[in-house]
Structure 1
Amino acid sequence: MPRLAIKICGLSTPDTVGAAVRAGTSHVGFVHFPKSPRHVDPEQIRALAAAVPAHVERIAVVVDPDDALIARLVDTGALSAIQLHGKESVERVAAIRQRFGLPVWKAIPVKTGQDVDRARDYAGVADRVLFDAKTPEGAALPGGMGLRFDWTLLKERTMSTQWGLSGGLDIDNVCDAIRITQAPLIDVSSGVEDAPGIKSVDKIMTFCKAVSAC
């Protein structure tokens, strides 16, 4: 089995970005969404990404963005891909990918098996789908709340596109998540924090070590 890809998402400081790189992560994520405690603006993303080596991908996470917002992020020259974490349709994902020429990820909120099936709609359109826990109706945030879904919904599924697992992952449960889902990429945010939006260097390092030992 190839080495598991790890994305540390919601990074906002140079020391935690550095920790993620030193720990061997394959992807770092920057959230541009004002309602999030992890929000960073385009200039912060540019500065944080400048310290990230070329072999580590740099992902901007946005929620139902308009083209002007995406353009501001793309113009930083800092990004490897855009992650869409709202209610973007298949058509919207395709339009963003065509206009901006960057790989596009689409988060799929999951509560039931039918939610997992929705990923098929994005095959050939999104470069990767990311299965995340569905947040409660009316929640201020579409993710990053430490919620998890029933991982057995992904067990022995054949995916028609690249994919990853998110939602409620932490140091204590990540090996179970990998064993059950066989996910090729895992995405952690709140599971390596001391408080919402406050990443822990120690937890980032420990999480990545735990994954290596799974």
Structure 2
Amino acid sequence: MTDVKVCGLSTVETLDAAIGGGATHVGFVFFAPSPRNLSFDTAASLAARTPDHVRRVGVFVDPNDEMLEHAVQAGRLHAVQLHRTAPQRVAHLRQRTGLETWAAVAVKTRSDLDGASDYAGAADRILFDAKTPMDAALPGGMGIRFDWSLLDGFRHRMPWALSGGLDAGNVAEAIRRTGAPLVDASSGLESAPGVKSVDKIVAFLQSVAAS
């Protein structure tokens, strides 16, 4: 059974859809430029509604220590997911929080995959995500996918997850193609940027369950 994270949740209805549909992880975004950004108060209310068997993951872009600590407390986080964060910084934040730590690696070419080895000993899991354009405001959540064949024959040295442009229509293929132990979707489950769709969440989780 593939684990599945529904990321960028911001409302009770969509959180309930994710939990009810069998998501193993839910993602709360703490990054001001993102349309999915949560206030600490909203994160706290959603966290209180999330059963502890569902892992709460906070999503950050190279956060400072103080902001990260506030978010961890508000969101009652089990894990932190770090984008655009250097390995040494990831190691520092992992030690500081004591939480499971994911490092996002942006992928466009096979050589990008090699960056995952830099996080050995610094992170607990690698999240392979599609590389966004250099001038993009967001490091993820833009509906871009990378060529999954790049993962063919790649030797994973750490637990990992697959992200980038996943939705109900392609996630089963993604799992078959890559063998991903965990899949992560955000923009593919939205009706507009930052607006999750209950129907799309349900369909996505059904596709994962049937794969």
TM-score when scaled to structure 1?
0.96
Amino acid at match of 2:30: H
Q: Once the 2 structures are TM-superposed, how far is the Cα of residue 157 of structure 1 from its aligned partner?
A: 2.0
Structure-2 change in CA distance of 1:12 and 1:77 (3 Å)? closer
1:17 aligns with 15
2:91 aligns with 94
Aligned pair partner of 1:184 in 172, 178, 181: 181
- Deviation track 1:150-193 (CA, whole Å, cap 9, x = no partner) reads 10111232211110000000111111111111000000001111
- 1:194 is paired with a residue whose SS is strand
2:155 aligns with 158
CA distance in 1 between counterparts of 2:74 and 2:137 reads 27
1:1-214 map, 5 Å: 3-76=1-74, 78-86=76-84, 88-214=85-211
Q: Say if 2:58 and 2:72, in contact at 8 Å, map to a contact too.
A: no
Q: Once the 2 structures are TM-superposed, how far is the Cα of residue 77 of structure 1 from its aligned partner?
A: 5.8
Amino acid at match of 1:194: S
- 2:76 is paired with a residue whose SS is coil
- Deviation track 1:18-70 (CA, whole Å, cap 9, x = no partner) reads 00000000000011111111010122111101111111000010101011111
TM-score when scaled to structure 2?
0.97
Q: Give unpaired runs (5+ residues) of structure 2.
A: none
My pick for the range that moved more, 181-190 or 74-83, is 74-83
Q: Give unpaired runs (5+ residues) of structure 1.
A: none
Moved over 4 A (4+): none
Amino acid at match of 1:93: V
Q: Say if 1:156 and 1:181, in contact at 8 Å, map to a contact too.
A: no
CA distance in 2 between counterparts of 1:96 and 1:36 reads 21
- 2:145 is paired with a residue whose SS is coil
